Amino acid sequence: MNVFQMLRLPDLVSLLNLICGISSIAVAAQATVQAATFQTAAAHDGFALALILLIVAAIADGVDGYIARRFKGGELGEQLDSLADAVSFGVAPALLIYLQFGQVNPLVGEPDPLIAVFPVIYAVCGVLRLARFNSVPSCKTGFEGLPITAGCVMLVTYMMLSERLVKIDFLLALTLGLSILMVSSVNYPKIRNVRILAFIASIFGITMLLYLYNVEYMRIFSILPFILMLTYIFSPFFKIPLLSNLGSKEYRNKGLRIRKEKQ
């Protein structure tokens, strides 16, 4: 059967996710060459664009899930979605970390092996997380282990910050911590509250618009999505109510049923 005949609307969104991930890697590689030839401004803008592309990939991943629930997905859906996630949220951020911080000068300098190890661990754990998600039935109200998309966006929002705030030691520690959380059994909530989702979308939308206007403004504003992602990362440990599903339609209906039973 022709593979193009098997594609459905959700699959096209997954392909957008994949295209953004591959493009992010290509842009980061070009920025690395620019940095090596002392085109500093162009390199900074290039790395910023690579990060923005991963944000777009994450948005596409969320939209893909919504469309798949609303419309019948194709036979390729689950496999294509996981493969796209592995590239965009596993391989791409790992390569970005190494390309941006792993070498002083990629043409003449010696790579730092330590900086190479942590991104590899992250990518491997991300793929394991996806494999478990596809193999083990998941809970409707949560995820077992940190979703790979959230792990990627956490790294991206940190690398978006001002250069004065981005420290390689903290980045590597964050990478390792996210790797552990992805393969852990920690239960992360599925955010279904429409208001919270709209707020999150607006924050990342503003971030992307600021990139188009001024990269430095984007870096200043990125503290908000960074804090937002930190909140989600720590939500299972502190039971943060704003990230619960109490505002979702499912939980509102459940609350109504309980009140009716009490009456």
152: pLDDT strictly greater than 90: yes
What DSSP letter does each residue of 145-198 carry, written as one string?
Answer: S--HHHHHHHHHHHHTS-TTT--HHHHHHHHHHHHHHHHS--EEEP---HHHHH
Query: Which pLDDT score, from 0 to 100, does residue 19 have?
Result: 96
211: pLDDT strictly greater than 60: yes
Query: Which pLDDT score, from 0 to 100, does residue 140 have?
Result: 66
Query: Which pLDDT score, from 0 to 100, does residue 232 have?
Result: 93
Model confidence band, residue 251 (pLDDT cutoffs 50, 70, 90): very low
Model confidence band, residue 123 (pLDDT cutoffs 50, 70, 90): very high
Instruction: Tell me the pTM.
Output: 0.86
CB neighbour burial string for 28-60, b if at least 16 within 10 angstroms, e if fewer:
bbbbbebbbeeeeeebbbbbbbbbbbbbbbbbb
66: pLDDT strictly greater than 80: no
The domain limits of the chain are: 3-262
How many angstroms from the chain centroid is the CA of residue 144? 16
